[in-house]
Structure 1
Amino acid sequence: MVRTHPRYSIINVRGMLLLYVLLSILTVLFSHSFFITTLQDGSLPGILNRIVFFTVPVVLMVFMAFSLIRLLRDIILRRTGSKFQARLMAYFIISVVLAAVPVTIITIQSVYELVRFWRSININNTLQYAQNLAMENYSMNLDRFEKLSLEIEGMDDPFPSDLPEGLWAVQDFRQNNDGSWVSLGFQGDVSRGLPSPPANQPGFVSRELPRDIDTIRYIQIPRRGVYRILSYKLGEGFDAVIAAMENERSRFDVIDSLELNVKPLVIYYYGVFLFPILLMTIIITISFSRRITQPIVELAEATTRVAAGDFSIQIISRPGDELGQLITSFNAMVQNLEKSRNALLKAEKISVWQTMAQQLAHEIKNPLTPIKLSAERVLRRWRNEPERVGEILESSMLAIIQEVESLSTMLTEFRTLSRPTELSRTWTMIRDLIEESIGLYRGGYPEIQFDISHVGAAVSVKMEKRYLSQVLTNLIINGIDAMDGKGRIEIRTDLVKKRESRYCRLSIKDTGKGISVEESAEIFTPYFTTKESGTGLGLPIVERIVNDHGGTIWFNSALGVGTTFFIDLPIDENQDNQ
């Protein structure tokens, strides 16, 4: 079984679906990173990031370009089904675009409205008010801390068991001569203790985080060489609240950047996430349209070949193909047609043999008449004028010999046509035999160009060499006669498969005058000839030889263009398929 024109996509539908799933997974993974980066600073992704993201759309565009170029080429070459495929693909693409456009417009409008809504919220004033309150609270704590420091400074015992409300801890240090610090006393929360004074000057200490989280430090020098550090509570989570307000302010500043970059961000978003999905959808659409139209195209081409007389064509239906039943019915119809044709051919052959016998009797009778007349002429002269018999003897004998040779040739060809072919099949290298056959005519017909460049060097056919030589010689002579000794003969071989067998398709094409429709019906009929000196048995003998070797022969012809004879012959099963 063979297909008429099996064509495959650059990548099949399953491969496309796999790419689609992978693209969707990458979209989900990278979109998370994309949104986090964008919302952190409101800027576009970097150059390297953009290159990585846009690689997928570029690759998909290359795939789509190849598919569209091939479809355009099919349309230009007017291949069967190409326009139908283009229309089907256009319908799919229009449907996808019409479905995507409203969603795209609504999404873009929603993004603009969302950004505009966030900009309308006056969060800056609120944050500013909160920061002012925090600073006022901080100033009040400084004032209260300063008062507490004065109270501690006036106490006889600077380390009371109960520290005044608001103090974390009190700690005294003394510096040794070597510069090291020694703790003289500590009272309060041990988590607020320090290994050494944070400064060497009295007064408030600059806050350093995380050392001074939620804490204000104050240094006193009660006596020479002694440093007292007072730690004051700002309140639980004071610094965390301040940091949160700063963070929120910076996050809301991102909205300003988003509004400036919203247009390129939307383009980038659709170019990275939506556009590849649309491209993938279009590519899958092209593959699906080809999958839908291909069985129809195969049926159309197979129908054309059946109409041309090739009943060996069988279409392989794909598993799960919706047109499988139709293809099965078509294959059954072709097989029935082939059986009917064979029965008809058998009946025709019987009729042909009857006609051939009558024609043979007629053809034998024609030379017998001049033989009889020549013999009677000699006999009559011998009886009446024996001394003058020499005047007509030579011409009469030559006429008799010529007619006898014609009879012998005709009977030899008839015997070749009628008797079973003595088969002794061997594997014969076809190119060598073709070169040998045309070598006999190259010198005699210098104005004829013989082209065998498309004959495979390693192709062999299972056929007796002398019979194959007879076939080639007959067809080459017919081509030379059809071109009046001037033109071009092209011989080529192609490997084909019919059902479970492989064949070598041998074609011999000439640029002669061609064969008319009326003559085409009789071309393989015995004793039918268009030549003045032909016997009409050459092509019937060729057909008989080819059929006896398990092959088939047919031809295509056009008046004024030329004729091509096709012969399918069994080939060596060990040959490669190239």
Structure 2
Amino acid sequence: MKMVRTRPKYSIINVRVLILLYVLLCILTVLFSHTFFIETLQDGSVPDLLNRIVFFTVPVVLLVFLAFSLVRLIWDMVQRRLGSKFQARLISYFIIAVILSAAPVTIITVQSVYELVRFWRSINISDTLQYARNLALENYTINLERFEKLSLSSDFNISRTSQTKLSVQDFPEGLRAIQDFSPDENGNWISRAFLGDETQEIKTLPGNQQGFISRELPRDTDTIRYVLPSKDLVRVLSYHLGEGFDAAIADIEEERARFEVINSLELNVKPLVVYYYGVFLFPTLLMTIIITLSFSRKITAPIVELAEATSRVAEGDFSIQIVSRPDDELGRLISSFNAMVQNLEKSQTALLKAEKISVWQSMAQQLAHEIKNPLTPIKLSAERVLRRWRTKPEETGEILESSMLAIIQEVEGLSTMLTEFRTLSRPTELSRSQTMIREQIEENIEIYRGSYPEVLFDIEHVGANISVKMEKRYLSQILTNLIINGIDAMNNQGRLEIRTDLVKKRESRYCRLSIRDTGKGIEEQDRPDVFTPYFTTKESGTGLGLPIIERIVNDHGGTIWFNSAVGVGTTFFIDLPLDEEPLPLEGAPDNGENQDKQ
């Protein structure tokens, strides 16, 4: 019993592995898309060339894999493999469904991005931020002027304040600390006195030139310092610009930078959208289609195996069984198919047995009839000799020779018929020997050239280097029988053409041997019985020649059929397996098995 396993063919990666890869791709897409949006909104530019190469590697690899799978599917369709068209339809339906569902979402998303950027552009944030910045700078300038007047007032004159002790309560508005620096014995300026907010105390003298000093952050956060120098003393006044002044200025500058990024997004929105779909959406679509290809193979594989098994059953192979999967609709269908094939096999066995019995009964009856026919003249000849011997023994010699010749002739006919019957009934002895077909044809033709001078034997189209898997004696028997039949059909005059062609049927190569005569042809009503044992249209024929030839050809894996037209002639075709060595084709390939049969 042959078992056929239902599984997908030509599958490179398992469906489960593809689904796992799809999940990993989705996770990576989420992670990288988050990073992509953050970086894009920070600078508003398209990723550089290196990043584009890295990101687009995944879709390119998936495209190559998908192209390979599609080319393989197209090749299966070209080769007309079972299931390829069904698989192509499944994939086409899925791709159409994906396009119909993805197209509106894509269009809406792209349009939303454009509208969002346009909306951002319509908000007049730039002027507002510039006004806030100008306002902060104006406030800063006013404070500088006020703090400078305050610093130069007599209240903070070094000569005066050195004589007068100040307290924090005496500080005017905005002043947060006073710190004095004087040189030590090494000439280094060190802090000698400090009064005010301790957070404003500095470790080193920032400068000894009168005026405001450059601000250093974070040391001078929300603070501006003014220097009052003298010969041996430098006083540093620390003024407060307002709580959160530097933070507000930084926020204004940061928002201005972000708004400039938004402005730049409008210029790069098209390449950014293409990049986004090419890197994040397109790979998932490709992966989905690849998974669909694998699923379609998995779905169509049992159907293909079922179709192939059905085809083999139609050809007469009832020993095939398909391995089915449990708890599955296709599994139940396959189980029903297996049960049907088993029942057909049992029915076929019983039918073949009955047919064999019927055939042998018919052949036995026919053989008995054929044997009975010559027994009558044998009996009559013997009775005639016996009767003459009893009545006129002296005249027995007159009829003895003719009677004995008649008996011998009928006995030889019986012997020939029994020999042919034995040939038909016993199996053909096969061998692996090869026979050069042209040499055998020339050898058989040579026997009849001299005996039939009015018959033209044409073997011009017989290949010189063709060998078939058949013993010489069997090929000679086939040629002899068909040549004699052709000569008899032409009444010993006409044209007998023999030719060979190389043909291919399915995966095997054959030599097509054709023998054509220009005789009277075969009547329409006689054609179905040509290969039936004991059927003959000749007066001296046994009706076993063509059945024996058919038996030999079939046992060697070949086929035989004929075309005939009354008044035109008959052509017998025989396809014999070629030798295993490949040979160049001399004829056109066969478009179908036995397409010329009648």
Query: Structure 2-normalised TM-score?
Result: 0.69
The aligned amino acid for 1:534 is G
Q: CA RMSD of the aligned region, Å?
A: 5.0
Cα distance between partner residues in 1 of 2:324 and 2:224: 86
Residue 191 of structure 2 aligns to a residue whose secondary structure is strand
Partner of 2:52: 50
Shift of 1:144: 3.6
Change (3 A) 1:238 1:78: same
- Alignment check: 8 A CA contact 1:368 1:403 kept: no
Q: Secondary structure at the match of 2:239?
A: strand
The answer (yes or no) to whether the contact 2:222–2:241 under 8 Å persists in 1 is yes
Q: Deviation of residue 411 (structure 1)? A: 7.2
* 1:18 paired to 2:14: no
Residues 479 and 489, structure 1, Cα contact 8 Å, conserved in 2 = no
> In the alignment, residue 563 of structure 1 is paired with which amino acid?
D
- Distance in 2 (CA, whole Å) between partners of 1:4 and 1:510 is 36
Equivalent position of 1:152 in the other structure: 156
Q: Equivalent residue of 1:109, what SS?
A: helix
- Residue 84 of structure 1 and its aligned partner are, at CA, apart by 4.1
Once the two structures are TM-superposed, the CA of residue 159 in structure 1 deviates from its matched residue by 7.2
Task: Provide Cα deviations, 1:96-121, integer angstroms capped at 9, x if missing partner.
Answer: 21211221222122111211111111
Displacement of 1:213 after TM fit? 1.9
Distance change in 2, residues 1:415/1:299 (3 Å):
closer
Q: Residues 243 and 60 of structure 1: is their aligned pair in 2 closer, same or farther, counting only changes over 3 Å?
A: same
| Partner residue, 1:34 | 36
Amino acid at match of 1:30: F
Q: Is the 8 A contact 1:451 1:489 kept in 2?
A: no
My pick for the range that moved more, 125-134 or 86-95, is 86-95
Say whether the 8 Å CA contact 1:479–1:510 is kept in structure 2. no
Pairing 1:106–2:108 present: yes
Aligned to 1:575: none
Larger radius of gyration: 2
2:275 is aligned with 1:279: no
**Within 1, Cα distance between the matches of 2:437 and 2:6?**
37
Taking the aligned partners of 2:117 and 2:480, their CA distance within structure 1 comes to 85
Map of 1:199 onto structure 2: 207
Instruction: Select 2:351's aligned residue among 330, 344, 351.
Output: 344
Name 1:172's counterpart in structure 2.
180
Match for residue 133 of structure 2 among 123, 131, 134: 131
Secondary structure of the structure 2 residue equivalent to 1:184: strand
CA shift at 1:247, angstroms? 0.3
Pick one of 320, 341, 353 that aligns with 1:334: 341
Give the drift of 1:400: 9.4
On the 8 A contact 1:555/1:563 being kept in 2, the answer is yes
| 1:511 aligned onto 2:519 | no
Worse-superposed segment, 6-15 or 483-492? 483-492
CA shift, 1:4, in A, is 9.2
Tell me, yes or no, if structure 1 residue 438 matches structure 2 residue 434.
Answer: yes
Q: How many Å apart are 1:228 and its aligned residue?
A: 2.5
User: CA-to-partner distance for each residue in 1:77-101, whole Å, 9 max, x for gaps?
Assistant: 4444544444443332222212112
Residues 166-565 of structure 1 aligned to structure 2 (within 5 Å): 166-175=174-183, 180-224=188-232, 226-318=233-325, 321-362=328-369, 406=416, 409-410=419-420, 413=423, 416=426, 434=432, 437-438=433-434, 444=440, 449-450=465-466, 487=500, 509-513=510-514, 534=545, 536=547, 562-563=574-575
Describe the shift of the 1:269–1:493 C-alpha distance in structure 2 as closer, same or farther (beyond 3 A): closer
Aligned residue for 1:68?
A: 70
Quick check: 1:141–1:234 contact (8 Å CA) kept in 2?
Answer: yes
C-alpha offsets along residues 211-237 of structure 1, whole Å, 9 cap, x if unaligned? 32222122221333x332222222332
Q: Which moved more, 1:170-179 or 1:272-281?
A: 170-179
Equivalent-residue separation in structure 1 for 2:476 and 2:503 (angstroms): 10
Aligned residues: 514
Which residue in the other structure is 2:488 paired with?
Answer: none
Structure 1: how far apart are the matches of 2:60 and 2:12? 16
Q: 1:366 to 1:508 in 2, by over 3 A?
A: farther
1:125 aligned counterpart, secondary structure: helix
Which residue identity is paired with 1:39? Answer: L
Deviations 1:514-533 (A, max 9, x none): 9x999999899777899988
Structure 1: tracts of 5 or more residues without a match: 422-429, 456-468, 495-506, 547-552, 567-578
Task: From the superposition, tell whether residues 127 and 152 of structure 1 become closer, same or farther in structure 2 (CA, over 3 Å).
Answer: same
For residue 458 of structure 2, what is the aligned residue in structure 1?
Answer: none
> Any idea what SS the aligned residue of 2:246 has?
helix
Structure-2 change in CA distance of 1:204 and 1:347 (3 Å): same
Contact 1:216 1:234 in 2 (8 A): yes
Match of 1:572 in 2: none
- Corresponding residue number in structure 1 for 2:456: none
- State the one-letter code of the partner of 2:217: L
Q: Alpha carbons of 1:73 and 1:321: their partners in 2 closer, same or farther (altered >3 Å)?
A: farther
Q: Deviations over 1:244-271 (max 9, x none)?
A: 1100110011111011111222222222
Percent of aligned positions that are identical: 57
- Corresponding residue number in structure 2 for 1:502: none
Amino acid at match of 2:201: G
Separation (CA, whole Å) in 2 of partners of 1:296 and 1:511: 35
Deviations 1:29-88 (A, max 9, x none): 111111111111111111111122222222222233233333433444444454444444
* Residue deviations 1:496-527 (CA, integer Å, cap 9, x gap): xxxxxxxxxxx78441349x999999899777
Unaligned runs of 5+ in 2: 443-461, 484-496, 516-521, 564-571, 579-598
Aligned-partner Cα distance in 2 for 1:523–1:159: 145
CA distance in 1, matches of 2:482, 2:238: 120
Stretch of structure 1 that moved more, 190-199 or 253-262 = 190-199
Q: How far apart, CA to CA, are the structure 2 residues paired with 1:186 and 1:247?
A: 36
Residue aligned with 1:512, SS = strand
